[in-house]
Amino acid sequence: MTAVMRGTAWAKVNLALHIRARRDDGYHELETIFAFVDQGDDLTIEISDQDRLVIDGEFAEGLAADADNLVMQALRILRSAGGAGLVPPVAVHLTKNLPVAAGIGGGSADAAAMARLVRDHFLPDIGRVPLRHLVAPLGADVAACVDSETCIGMGTGADLQPATHVNVSGIPILLVNPRQPVATGPIFKAWDQMDRGPLFVGQDMRGALLAARNDLQRPAIAQCPAVAEILTVLGGLKPWLARMSGSGGTCFALFDSAADRDAAAAHLASHHPHWWRCSGVLR
């Protein structure tokens, strides 16, 4: 076992997000396509005399490095599942490269990365599906973030199915955020409760994605008008798809080539330097 164990909390994007109904328990029935970018937060752990968490990075400000952090909650869940003595105390170092309250995974991706690290190094007998079930209570996106592979999310998002016809691996992507947090709860609450139809993904993947939607985009724009500006600018930079992810305010653009993506990123750096940008490819 290496002294320092490293993992990545890959950024999540919702290529589509259809809200179908509001449930009596306050959650929503939804259909979504989860995909993941090859960029994210960095996480390391090493055996220590006691559990501790240090958070740094561009978006560390305001995050609590205490026992309530989702990373530490995931550690406790795995330790309890593994039994006494199998998971030692660890010092955790989380570098927040991704904006928070941004619709791209945030704490869910961090918790999932922690779960993978602990499983891989201390509890190898826990399989992929049991690991998802263990940490799913931490948040609706956590189960999908465990594997960080393209999949379909149903129910509240934790009921995962293979994305048979969605082969997006290697597609160049550009993420853009206005550096304004968007709280998930109020956005879901502001949904107009209109069921605009199911998500359908057939053989024509690109056509299906273009026909899909994000039902939270309109309420997010009402709370954060900068989302509309970002989408307008991205739409003019020749992606084949530009859409908001999750409950916002991060938007993404998919391109036919890395050169097109990089040209778009350069344009944003010149004309909108205050926006956060991240270039990568889908995993």
DSSP 3-state percent helix, strand, coil across the chain (nearest 5): 30, 30, 40
For residue 141, indicate whether it is catalytic.
yes
Q: Which of 12, 41, 215, 260 is catalytic?
A: 12
Measure the CA–CA gap between 283 and 52, rounded to whole angstroms.
31
Rounded Cα gap, residues 93 and 46, in angstroms: 9
* SS3 category, 14: strand
Give the Å distances, CA to CA, from 196 to 17, 116, 211.
11, 36, 12
Give yes or no for a contact between 146 and 117, defined as CB atoms under 8 angstroms apart: no
CB 16 within 8 A of CB 246: no
The H or E element spanning position 260 is helix 258-271
Please say if 12 is a catalytic residue: yes
Q: Is 33 helix (H, G, I), strand (E, B) or coil?
A: strand
Distance (Å, whole) CA 139 – CA 71: 12
- Tell me how far apart the alpha carbons of residues 262 and 238 are, in angstroms, rounded to a whole number: 12
Residue among 41, 96, 110, 141 flagged as catalytic: 141
> Which residues form the catalytic set?
12, 141
